[in-house]
Amino acid sequence: MKLRSLRLTGFKTFADKTEIEFHEGITAVVGPNGCGKSNIADAILWALGEQNPRLLRGDETRDFVFAGAERRKPLGMAEVQILVDNGEGRLPIDFTEVAIARRIYRSGESRYSINGSQCRLKDIVDLFLDTGMGRGAYSFITQSEVDAVLSARPEDRRELIEEAAGVQKYRTRKREAVRKLESAETNLTRIRDIIAELDHQREPLRDQAAVAERYLAAVERLRSIEVDLLISEVHRADYEIYAVRNDREGYIETIRALDAQTAELERDSARSQDEYDAADRAYDSAALAHQTASAELERIQHELRLNLERAQNATAAAERIDADLQALAQKETALHDTLRREESAHNRAVVALESTAANLERAIDVHRSLEETSESAAAAARDHMAAQRELIAERTGREAALAACRARIDESGRRLAELDEVLKDEKALVSSAADRVVQLGQALEGADQAADMAQQAQAGAQETHRAAADDLERCEARLGAAHRRAVERKSRLETLRDMHDAGEGLFQGVRAVLAGAASSDIHGRYRPVADVLRVPERLRIALDVALGSAAQNIICTDAGEARRAIEWLKAGRRGRATFLPLDSLEPPEPLSASAVRGRHGILGIASELVEVEPEYQRAINVLLNRTVIAEDLDAAWALARQVRGWSRIVTLEGELITPGGAVSGGSLSGRGARLVSRKGEMDDLTRELRDIEKEIHQLEISVKEARTVAETAQTTARDAYDLAARRAAERTTAAQALETGRREEAQIRARFADTMAHKARVAETLAQVTAEANAWEQALAEHGAQDIALDETLTRARTEAEAAALRVAQAREAVTALEIEHSRLKEQVRGFGKSLASLRVSIAETRAERRSRQDQREGLGRTSLDSEARVEALSHSRTLAEGALQAAAAEHERWRRERSRTREASVQTAEAIRSAASRRGATMKSLHDADLKLARLEIQLGQAAQRLTDEYSVTLEEALATVEPPKVDRDTTHEIGRLRREIKAMGLVNTGAVEEFARLTERFDFLAHQRTDLESASASLRETISEIDRSTRDVFMATLEAVRTEFQRLLVRLFGGGKAELSLTRPDNILETGIEISVQLPGKRAQNLALLSGGERALTAVALLFSLLAIRPSPFVLLDEVDAPLDGPNVEKFIELVKDFAKETQFVIITHNPATMESAPYWYGVTMPEPGVSRVISYKPRSESSNNGHSPTDTVLGEPNA
């Protein structure tokens, strides 16, 4: 995967459309400062999805649109497109070339696209995930980031190791799992709340259902007896009523049958839908299998093509090697011919050398004889010369000694004068050195003070930063806690609202009326009593008990609304409800306030202690005008004994006293519908949420301010750290300068003392030499006439010796000539020997190369055979894969037909349901007609029917259930009285409790099953997160160890030695630990990174970043002036390192360094021919242009379109 090109239109200073092509290896981007080089790097990062404008040197995204220049208008749009070669398939997309484009309009609107198709930012981020080229990757390195690698917090350095480890995919999976877990936990919390609320309601409903069953049994028995008493009168009704009733029952049975049929059809529909869903899932699985088989076949075919090409390449290479072997054989033959010619010439030279050696030996014998004669004459001359030389030598020695003494006298005098001048200069140097030491000492004191002040400033800045960070952390913690409280309150409020909206805890009839009013099935304003009350928290239990089921009474405007609702409930058999029509209510006379006011433990009359909407006050007065609220049971008992006229007394804990003396009490355990409490809790949660939202708003402002303060403090701390490092370096420099000054002063003082001692020695030597010169002058005066006699004798001896020497010289010349000839022939023989050895080596090398090429030929033959075998195996695999593909296609088609069949069955079932609903509607119409006819007949029953309705509340149909009139006696009358007393003693009974209890139990069981499923899902997600954490830890630690090893290797390479270590700040927490860097450079002790020089820091950071590239190579790396802090030798090391990595990685280097430019095969120059507008010029080096037969050319990129 390589970066092929970059196209910019209106981005920053690139006003014109500009396209830059990138080549393999290294491409350099050069140009003056401020011309827009770094905008190229910004463009690539921006196109890959970078969202932070500050990282791209801007304040907001619209700053990236060309803003205009002196002769250019601003543009309305900026676009950057990068073209990536995906031939290796590293990007998860089915294209060999991928074009990534990002466009921004000045209005702020933006869009992304992949190969021209619009996409999301997430799609681009996911596309480059773990490729080393995404945003935030270490493949984009600037000069500031090089220093930031060493200056960053250990936690920030961790991101580099994570990028190299490729754990981003694990973090993405973990975020998704955490999101699902949070959703599951939220749903689980809501379901638990609902289950708890339902559980609270079930227990009292169980008791109410039992009471209701006894009540209904007693009512039924009483009704039966009363019907028995009136049955004789009822039987006198017209037989037509009986017929109409029979018809009506038939209609009812038909409706029931149709309902049963519809229910069965609905079950069939559900089964059909399940079958369809199963077929649909199988269809999707078959489609996936078909795609997998197709991909496998394509892979086998691709590998088959590769092996065929490998076999062809091996054959071609073998043919080339055969040609090379033939050429080598010809070369070896030619070398053998040359060897034979050289051996012949060598033999002739050896014969000539032997002849010259014999002549030389004879000439040497003649020369030796003449030398003996000459030696005798010369010996006599030498004897005379020796005597003369002895005399001359003695005289010369004395003259020389005298001259030497005189010279030493002159030298000593001159040296004494020089030493006086030297002493004068050195005395001045001693004084100057002492002054300089004093100045350096003062400079060191100043540097110490500055370093101490900088250290104190750094400590203060760090403390300020820590305090600001702590403040930010506290604000964020408070904000997080507020958010959590808001989520908890919202979840609880949503649960309560869902229960309220679903009518949880309401009777079936009440729930039906409210639903009908909401859907406009019935017209009117219907409000449950609990919904119109606002009750203080401490009174809610008392009001729940006091109202009981009356909290579900429905308040309506008038009796007409109540009548319409009742008829609607009856018509649909939707249950029963109690209505409070405001125009018909007559509130009882309220209990006298004076009777309860001021009594110990009595809070007051309930209707006065609650808040209610004014229009509903009348209804509340009906229910609560005679209800008293007491603090405890003792106060309630005392009031009950002393005051009359109340209907009930309720305590804060829920005890209830009725006028008949009955007392209810015990532990509520939080159970029961408690509609008043639920409504009050909803109101409290709503108010609390408003308060929390205000608190969150204020905390967000505080967090923002604290973050700004923390960032400012961090910047200040970093500046103080840098200043302290500079001051420490200055102090070290001053201390070293002082030490150097002291050493120089000591050296100067030592030289001054040495010069004084030397002057004393020279003066002493001068006195000694003067005395010695006087003695030699006296000795020379004694020498005289001995020289004259020796001169005559020596003249005769020299004449004889010269004649003999002439004869010897002539013989010596003959010997010399023969020696020269002998040496020439000997050198010629030696040259022939070397040539013969060279030829023999060449022949051996040629033979070795032939053997090597033959071995290569045999290896290529084996490669060809292996490729052919692999081709055969892959051909068989391709056949199997094609069979698998056909099988997958057949399975795919089978499930497609099954899905169509189940869809058709579902449609047929739905049609049957619609048909049954139509027939039911017709039957309902017939039933309605029968009811109308029956109503007309019932009017004719007269007084009998009226009496049944008024006195016994028994319908005519129930009275006619018995065919024969019963026998009535005294026991029957007594039983009627007993039943009436029993029913009255039961008081207000919730007859809907039986049905409501069954409904709540069914919903409770359903939610309990959902809770189990969610708990299982949460456990599975936690296990998944743990597994992801384990994988992340393993991959992170393996990568860290590899980076540590590579970092040490590169540091040694760049510095010629040293030690590097990467350590964990929190080894006990691998997922959150930071990374500390420790470096010891050659010849230095381990020291703070801040004390390294700029070049050392840069080279250390380069070693770390390139160690990451070595562990996880990136296909593309952009370096923006990374070499700026490096000197010449270090730049060379940097270039060599880049060249090594460029064998596998594509580099784009933005630089000013000439050495870096020269190392790049391709250059791009960025200029600014007009202010504010950048232009790119491509440049091919002369070497490449010369190879192509052309001269160097410059190509201007980005000219405006014609």
Say if residue 204 is in the same domain as residue 130: no
> Residue 1086: is its pLDDT beyond 60?
yes
Residues 860-893 pLDDT 10s: 777 778 777 877 887 888 888 788 888 888 888 8
Residues paired with residue 1196 on neighbouring β-strands, in sequence order: 1177
Residue 612 vs residue 1084, higher pLDDT: 612
In terms of pLDDT, which residue wins out, 305 or 1147?
Answer: 1147
Q: What is the CATH number of the domain that holds 649?
A: 3.30.70.1620
Q: Flag whether 1047 is in a domain.
A: no
CB 828 within 8 A of CB 349: yes
Write the DSSP assignment of 1032-1070 as a string of letters. Answer: HHHHHHHHHHHHHHHHHHHHHHHHSS-EEEEEES-TT-T
Checking if the pLDDT of 339 tops 90, the result is no
Helix (H, G, I), strand (E, B) or coil at 99: strand
Same domain, 71 and 186: no
pLDDT for residue 941 is more than 70: no
Helix (H, G, I), strand (E, B) or coil at 81: strand
Flag whether pLDDT at 53 surpasses 60. Answer: yes
Cβ(158)–Cβ(1070) under 8 Å?
no
> What was the pLDDT predicted at 940?
56
* In the block, residue with structure tokens 């993405």: 172
Residue 587 has a pLDDT of: 84
pLDDT band at 790 (very low <50, low <70, confident <90, very high): low
Whether residue 189 sits in one domain with residue 133:
no
Distance CA 29, CA 34 (A): 13
Residue 481: the pLDDT is 85
Predicted confidence at residue 41, as pLDDT, reads 86
Q: Name the pairing type of β-strands 1116-1120 and 140-142.
A: parallel
Residues 536 and 631 both lie in one domain:
yes
Q: Residue 423 above 50 pLDDT?
A: yes
Q: Is the pLDDT of residue 907 over 90?
A: no
Q: Domains in the chain: how many in total?
A: 3
Please determine, for residue 933, whether its predicted confidence score (pLDDT) is greater than 80: no
Question: What's the confidence (pLDDT) of residue 853?
Answer: 77
Ranges 102-111, 205-214, 671-680, 1018-1027: which has the least confidence: 671-680
Whether the predicted pLDDT of 852 surpasses 50? yes
Helix (H) or strand (E) holding 1177: strand 1173-1179
Asked if pLDDT for residue 935 goes beyond 70, the answer is: no
- Give strand ranges (E) for 971-1126: 1059-1064, 1075-1080, 1116-1120
Chain centre to alpha carbon of residue 886: 42
User: Per residue in 1000-1049, pLDDT tens?
Assistant: 788 888 888 888 888 888 888 888 888 888 888 888 888 888 888 888 88
Residue 538 sits in the same domain as residue 597: yes
Provide the mean pLDDT of the chain: 79
Q: In the prediction, which pLDDT does 82 show?
A: 92
Q: What are phi and psi of 1142, to 5 degrees?
A: -70, -10
Q: What is the dihedral of CA 589, 594, 600, 603, to 10 degrees?
A: 50
**Res 657 pLDDT > 60:** yes
pLDDT class of 1191 with cuts at 50, 70, 90:
very low
Q: Specify the DSSP class assigned to residue 770.
A: H
Residue 514: half-sphere exposure toward Cβ, Cα within 13 Å:
21
Reply yes or no on whether the pLDDT at 629 is more than 80: yes
Which of 25-34, 742-751, 987-996, 1077-1086 is predicted with the least confidence, judged by mean pLDDT? Answer: 987-996
Last residue of a domain, one of 1026, 1053, 1079: 1026
Q: Give a yes or no: residue 84 inside a domain.
A: yes
Q: Both 188 and 121 in a single domain?
A: no
Residue 236 DSSP class: T
Query: SS3 sequence, 889-940?
Result: HHHHHHHHHHHHHHHHHHHHHHHHHHHHHHHHHHHHHHHHHHHHHHHHHHHC
pLDDT of residue 1182: 43
Out of 672, 698, 716, pick the residue that ends a domain.
672
Q: What is the predicted pLDDT for the residue at 103?
A: 92
- For residue 114, the model assigns a pLDDT of 92
Residue 556, pLDDT > 90, answer: yes
pLDDT of residue 1192: 39
Contacts (Cβ under 8 Å, ≥6 apart) of 531? 679
Residue-level pLDDT at 195: 82
pLDDT of residue 1198: 43
Q: Taking a C-beta distance cutoff of 8 angstroms, is the pair 790, 391 a contact?
A: yes
Three-class DSSP labels, 577-637: CCEEECCCCCCCCCCCHHHHCCCCCEEEEHHHHCEECHHHHHHHHHHHCCEEEECCHHHHH
- What is the C-alpha separation between 905 and 790, in angstroms, rounded? 155
Claim to verify: residue 72 and residue 204 sit in the same structural domain: no
DSSP characters over 652-673? TT--EE-TTS-EE-S--TT-S-
Report whether 486 contacts 700 (CB < 8 A). Answer: no
My answer on whether 83 and 19 are in the same domain is: yes
pLDDT at 81: 94
pLDDT, mean of residues 840-849:
79
Assess whether 529 and 666 both reside in one domain.
yes
d(Cα 1109, Cα 1049) in Å, to the nearest integer?
13
At residue 108, φ and ψ (nearest 5 deg) are 105, -15
Q: Which of 585-594, 903-912, 914-923 has the lowest mean pLDDT?
A: 585-594
Q: Which helix (H) or strand (E) holds 320?
A: helix 239-502
* pLDDT reported for residue 1199: 40
The model's confidence at residue 956, banded by pLDDT at 50, 70 and 90, is low
| Within a domain: 497 | no
- pLDDT, residue 137, reads 61
Say whether pLDDT at 672 is over 60. no
- So what's the pLDDT on residue 280? 79
Is residue 561 domain-resident?
A: yes
Asked whether residue 754 carries a pLDDT value surpassing 90, the answer given is: no
My answer on whether 133 and 4 are in the same domain is yes
pLDDT band at residue 635 under the 50/70/90 scheme:
confident
User: What is the torsion angle, in degrees rounded to the nearest 10, for the CA atoms of residue 436, residue 437, residue 439 and residue 444?
Assistant: 140
DSSP string, 19-58: EEE--SSEEEEE--TTSSHHHHHHHHHHHTT---GGGGT-
Confidence grade of residue 953 (pLDDT, cut at 50, 70, 90)? low
Distance, CA of 182 to CA of 1017 (rounded, Å): 11
Average pLDDT of span 354-372? 75
In this predicted structure, what is the pLDDT of residue 1186? 43
pLDDT at 236: 57
The verdict on residue 210 lying in a domain is: yes
Give, as one character, the DSSP assignment of residue 988. Answer: S
Check residue 805 and give its pLDDT.
72
Give the number of other CB atoms < 10 A from CB of residue 641: 8
Alpha carbon distance 1021, 872 (integer Å): 47
Q: What is the pLDDT of residue 927?
A: 79
| Low-confidence winner among 145-154, 182-191, 449-458, 1112-1121 (lowest mean pLDDT) | 145-154
Question: How do residues 282-318 score in pLDDT, each as one tens digit?
Answer: 888 888 888 888 888 888 888 888 888 877 887 887 7
Using the 3D structure, point to which of 672, 696, 722 is the last residue of a domain. 672
**C-beta separation of 1090 from 1078 below 8 A:** no
Go through the chain and tell me how many residues it has.
Answer: 1202
In a domain? residue 659: yes
Q: Are residues 528 and 652 in the same domain?
A: yes
Taking the C-alpha atoms of residue 664 and residue 590, their distance in angstroms, rounded to an integer, is 23
Q: What number of other Cβ atoms are within 10 A of residue 1086's Cβ?
A: 11
pTM: 0.43
136-140, 288-292, 497-501, 674-678: range with lowest mean pLDDT? 136-140
Q: How far is CA 907 from CA 269, 902, 911, in A?
A: 8, 9, 6
Please classify residue 767 by burial: count the beta carbons closer than 10 Å to its beta carbon, then call 0-12 exposed, 13-18 middle and 19+ buried: exposed
β partners of residue 580: 555
Residues 196 and 72 in one domain: no
Residue 772 lies in a domain: no
The number of CA neighbours under 13 Å toward the Cβ of 394 is: 13
- Residue 274's identity, in one-letter code, is D
How far is CA 512 from its chain centroid? 53
CATH of the domain at 28: 3.40.50.300
Ranges 80-84, 317-321, 815-819, most confident: 80-84
What's the rounded mean pLDDT across residues 346-358? Answer: 77
The band of 1200, judged by pLDDT with boundaries at 50, 70 and 90, is very low
Is residue 1196 one of the residues assigned to a domain?
yes
pLDDT at 148: 66
Report percent pLDDT > 70 for the chain.
85
Percent of all residues in the chain with a pLDDT value above 90, rounded to a whole number:
4
The domain containing residue 657 runs over which residues? 521-672
